[in-house]
Chain A
Amino acid sequence: MKVTYNWLKEFVNLTASPEEVAEKLTSAGMEVEEIIYQNKNLHDVVVGKILKIEKHPQADKLVVCQVDIGNSITQIITAATNVFEGAVVPVSLPGADLVNGIKIQKAKMRGVESCGMFCSGEELGIDENYFEGAGVNGILILPKDFKAGTPIEKALMLDDVIYDINITPNRADCMSVIGIAREVCAIYGLDMRKVNLSYDIDVYAKDTIHDYIKVNVNTPNCQRYMATAITNVKIERSPLWMRARLNAVGIKPICNLVDITNYVLVEMGQPLHAFDQSMIEGQEINVRQAKEGETIDALNHNTYTLDENTMVIADKCKPMVIAGVIGGTNSCINENTSKCVLESAIFDLKSIRLTSRKIGVRTDSSARYSKGVNVANAELGMGRALHLVTKLKCGKIVRGRIDIASVKNEARKIIVSAKLINDILGLQIKPQDMIRILNNLSIESTLAGDKITCIVPPYREDIENDYDIAEEVIRFYGYDVYDNIEYELFKNSKVSEGHHHPRLALERKFRNSLVDFGFYENISYTLVPSDSANKLLLNDNRKNLIRIANPISDEISCMRTSLAHSLLSNIAYNLSVGNKKMKIFECGREYIADSLPLEKLPAEKNMLALAICEDDKEHKNFFYMKGIIEMLLNKTSVEYTLVRSKEPYLHPGISADIIANGKVVGSFGQIHPIVAKNYDVPSYVVYGEIDDDYLSNLVEKQRAFKDISKYPIVERDLAIVVEEKVSAKEILDSIKSSCGKLCYKVELFDIYRNQDLKSQSKKSLAFNIKLSDLDKTLTDEEVNKITQKVLKALSYKFGAILR
């Protein structure tokens, strides 16, 4: 919100510099986001009077002017055609740096010296609404009574300093000049000047407000409605000082009555509305909810069709205003207005918020109402507006006013504890200092023992208890008190034991291991495109993408149901920028809805997903992935088996599901060729994922030492030929069972397939068998016996033959 330094000075006897005031406001919680100097591009521009105009000796289109600039006469050459002898104009002198980027210096034009330039309104940053003549195509011709030599910023009242302040939602009362002025008073301990609310009424006149308007409030969303009438209205430009203020805060001046409503809006934070009384049918104002289908042509040139959730100000027949948001063209002030009804109302913030959002219109008025305007403010705003009507002589104020209020709001008394305030702050502020600060804030406070009794003014709706008062105290006592004090940590509180999150702790083990194996950790958007489930061929509840109602774009419109989407997309991105080989992983969530639309919170499954993109032969990547998965699972106590995977996005022949406790707790394998195509990644990409929630809920790994033999291990290597369809695991299990308790370790150390074997769909497997007996050294004879047993079993079960 914008307020100006000069405007604040109307209410506070400020002597501090604009910069200091900004700094103090910020440190009191009214963050000044920007200081704008109106005169930034107006230095070295003064009022000048053209004394004499002569033709340029060398150029037809130029004239040479002698110009009185106060303390001297200077020569200026111009091509402008609207200048004349005796004209008063803005003159930019050497050194000037205008808003459009033009820098002025002495120059010779066709051999004749020119010591400056006449300015148009545009070159001064103003338009026709602000100053008459500023909009013409040519030089701005100033009023005759402007004194030559006057700096233009003074002459045109463009010498203010504007603050753009970020008002926090709890301080709706500060969305006005007067609100900020109150804070400034509290900062400097100054008294606020009384707001002038006086106005003239013709006490002998017979007519009263009731001769002009009747008001019915038929909705609970209007908490107060005040109306007054003005007759003999004369619509004209408002005075320069008023236009200057409005212009400074970014509001376009229009005409006296409208400018008054806007002026009061900024100054007092009270939105007002002025009606042309002659256009109010039936001379009645009905504050009501709109009827379904009613329409209104609004001042922004749009037509809105309304429904019963929208509050309107209507006359007997039609809605005239979308209450608190925007006026209609059917009853607004115009150049022919002679009688006016002025509204100062309080509307429920929720109603205004809903309407403003629904029709997508945000005005200065709706901005105030949707933060909440205090019920008492309506009176202040009305009084100030009538004062300005009198001051600007824009009409006769009719006796009497209408004031319909359903909510009363008065000063509240609260009692707080000085000790509690200090306990909250961890400080020892003297209660007297607290009282002083609160009184400066117009919170009248008295101390009795530890108790502070506070009379909270109605506009401070945010203050309810000790904590709120503590905040007011420290805001003005100054947070810098904490800057240089070292406190003992948790001096008065209990020591507690900190715990890592079990899943995050397990994931950290996984993540660090993967990094050591060359994997890069990814973090991807959990919001994915709506076609991601289809691209992954998902067919179970992972097909139910949870959709955002108000997404930024389709690309990030749905919650992901598989991390495969993220990693495959990341691979595709990297390939597109020339990163060809990569190993990546991500710990993240999948959001699984049982049904849509969502009626309860969905499951959020924590998964670890990994992917390898590396050129491949012989399914090397599959087995590398398998090794990585085994390495990770080994960090947990999980007992699992592998079965062929049913994941739709994996190659059915080159993938596995990890089964633990009858449940799929992970999968891995080469991606399905169709999925590879959908994501534009090579088909040799392998992907894997494991269920971190399941794994982190398992008991810690238990270890129990078994005796090791003191006798040496005996080894035998065994190479056999079997059919391809026999799995390595089946053979390993058979060997182990044949060796019985003497088995120490069996390892498959070589797999061999030559042309000959391939043609028979056979393969050769070589095993290393380590045997050991706890009680003795095994003899050759014993070992041979076992080897025979192994072979016999393999031959019987699988038709294996020794190579």
Chain B
Amino acid sequence: MISEQLETIKEQLLAEINGAERVNQIGQIRAKAFGKSGSISALSKGMRDLSPEERPKFGAMINELKKVIEESLSLKEGELEEIELKNKLESEQVDITEPSNIREIGALHPIADVIDRLTDICVDMGFSVVEGPEIESDYYNFEAMNIPKNHPSRDMQDTFFITDEILLRSHTSAVQAREMETRKPPFKIICPGKTYRNDSDATHSPIFHQIEGLVIDENISMADLKSMLTILMRRLYGNDTKIRFRPSFFPFTEPSIEVDVSCPSCHGKGCKICKGSGMLELLGAGIVNPKVLEMSGIDSKKYRGFAFGFGLDRTAMILNSINNIRNFYRNDIRFLEQMK
């Protein structure tokens, strides 16, 4: 009798378990079976009516039933959980093209970015970064650079004057003498910064940026200049970059050179940017004129040096394919957002 009852309960429960569709139904079935007034609990209570001989037998049968039901329940529960998770993952989906709620990202100014890059490269090579005043004395800008008053070499630069003796520095070379007066050789310095010339057109801005490099040591040569600039230009414009020297004149270097750099756009083959020549005229450099060393109190018999300088606006123009220098100083957001 009980065994029949037991079989019926078992079948009913198993049928319900099989029919369950959601995880929470499993909980309900479990309560129905094992709860206080659950069907299996009722069976257990019914044991009291059995003879002591029968009890172990039915006890074992009930235990067996419990085990079967419990296993079925957890099996089904696992299955349903898996299905539900699957459904959940399938139904939950975001539009990944919707914008993020993180605010817009800005950008560095291309000239400032070039300064960052150059200073990193030069610091790696053992240069220290220095600065100097933009409002400068005639002495440091010109005279200490071997450009006496009324000398023809003053014609090379159209200078903004404030008084007869105070001017806006026309080149970052103005820091050379300042550093030579205060530092003890050997040293290597670079100075990025603003420079000013009375000149304004599509390729000239009255305010522009230069970087100056100066190395003073005992055995410096033009060959050191060549290897240093080769590394610098390769790190800036790519590993296949070549540089070429041409004679030139600066009052503060002797010999003086112009440095041509293979065009990073066409790799020397010739294009619009390099006007077909394959090379761009980018730097001025040379061996520091011993007169300049002596004027700043450095023994030119013992020490020698090289110096180089170039325009950063031009560098930023080449690196970012910018065609007009005026873009740099208008600060139009539509220009700057392309510099991200």
B-contacting residues of A (Cβ < 8 Å)? 26-29, 168-172, 349-350, 353-354, 370-372, 423-427, 465, 467-468, 470-471, 474-475, 479-480, 482-483, 485-501, 503-504, 508, 511-512, 514-527, 546-552, 556, 559, 570, 573-574, 577, 579, 582-584, 587, 589, 591, 597-598, 601-602, 604
Contact = CB atoms under 8 A, between A and B. Distances in A.
Given A425-B222, A549-B161, A168 B112 contact: no
Given A520-B106, A548-B162, A550-B198, A168 B249 contact: yes
Given A471-B255, A519-B106, A577-B332, 11 more contacts: A425-B255, A474-B255, A475-B247, A482-B226, A487-B226, A489-B228, A490-B217, A490-B227, A549-B161, A550-B160, A579-B334
Given A523-B329, A548-B161, A370 B152 contact: yes
A212 B135 CA distance: 56
B304 to A, nearest CB: 7
Contacts of A574: 331-333
Given A492-B219, A511-B108, A546-B162, A526 B134 contact: yes
Contact of A548 (B160, B251, B290): B160
Interface in B141-180: 149-153, 155-156, 160-163, 166, 168
A579 B330 CA distance: 13
A169 B163 contact: no
B60 interface: no
A601 B231 contact: no
A350 B150 contact: yes
Given A493-B218, A508-B116, A468 B131 contact: no
Contacts of B152: 169, 172, 349, 353, 370-372
Contacts of B27: none
8 contacts: A350-B150, A492-B224, A520-B106, A520-B336, A521-B108, A521-B109, A521-B112, A527-B196
B123 A591 contact: no
B200 interface: yes
Nearest to A26: B246
B186 interface: yes
A347 B303 CA distance: 38
A39 to B, nearest CB: 24
Nearest to B130: A501
Given A169-B249, A521-B112, A549-B162, A490 B153 contact: no
B162 A168 contact: no
Contacts of B126: 490, 495-498
Residue from A26, A354, A490 with most neighbouring chain B CB atoms (10 Å):
A490
Contacts of A491: 224
Contacts of B188: 496, 498
Nearest to A372: B152
B289 to A, nearest CB: 7
Contacts of A514: 106
B128 A522 contact: no
Contact of B331 (A353, A371, A494, A570): A570
A715 B115 CA distance: 49
Interface string B186-228: 1110000010101010000011000000010111111110111
Nearest to A547: B162
A467 B331 contact: no
A490 B337 CA distance: 40
B129 A504 contact: yes
Contact of B207 (A468, A526, A598): A526
Nearest to A578: B334
Nearest to B149: A350
Contacts of B255: 424-425, 467, 470-471, 474-475
A604 B134 contact: yes
A487 B220 CA distance: 12
B33 interface: no
B111 interface: yes
Contact of A523 (B111, B119, B332): B111
A611 B120 CA distance: 28
A604 B122 CA distance: 25
Contacts of B217: 490, 493-494
Residue from A520, A546, A556 with most neighbouring chain B CB atoms (10 Å):
A520
A500 B168 contact: no
Nearest to A511: B108
Contacts of A500: 119, 123, 128-129
B182 to A, nearest CB: 15
B127 A498 contact: yes
A573 B108 contact: no
B334 A480 contact: no
B227 A489 contact: yes
A142 B319 CA distance: 58
A479 B222 CA distance: 10
Nearest to A486: B227
Contacts of A552: 198, 200, 206
A685 to B, nearest CB: 15
6 tightest Cβ-Cβ pairs between the two chains A and B: A426-B223, A426-B221, A29-B247, A168-B249, A471-B255, A492-B219
B206 A556 contact: yes
A518 B153 contact: no
B200 A601 contact: no
B134 A589 contact: yes
B222 A426 contact: yes
Contact of A423 (B160, B168, B200, B221): B221
Contacts of B136: 601
B249 A29 contact: yes
B257 interface: yes
B103 interface: yes
A601 B206 CA distance: 21
A511 to B, nearest CB: 6
Contacts of A483: 242, 244
A515 B106 contact: yes
A498 B128 CA distance: 5
Residue from A471, A556, A577, A582 with most neighbouring chain B CB atoms (10 Å):
A471
Contact of A170 (B108, B245, B249): B249
Contacts of B133: 601, 604
Contacts of A501: 119, 128-131
A163 to B, nearest CB: 17
Nearest to B140: A601
B315 interface: no
A502 to B, nearest CB: 9
Given A426-B222, A426-B224, A479 B162 contact: no
Contacts of A171: 249
A521 B223 contact: no
B156 to A, nearest CB: 6
B320 to A, nearest CB: 14
A523 B331 contact: yes
Nearest to A604: B133
A604 B153 CA distance: 28
Contact of B150 (A29, A353, A485, A602): A353
B95 interface: no
Nearest to B329: A525
A731 B186 CA distance: 59
A589 B242 CA distance: 36
Contacts of B220: 492-493
A459 B196 CA distance: 34
A18 to B, nearest CB: 19
Given A471-B256, A479-B246, A521 B221 contact: no
A269 to B, nearest CB: 14
A520 B333 contact: yes
Given A493-B219, A552-B206, A573-B330, A520 B103 contact: no
Nearest to A556: B206
A504 B134 contact: no
Contacts of B112: 511, 521, 523, 587
A36 B303 CA distance: 46
A436 B277 CA distance: 32
A169 B161 contact: no
Contacts of A546: 135, 162
Nearest to B164: A549
A574 B149 CA distance: 43
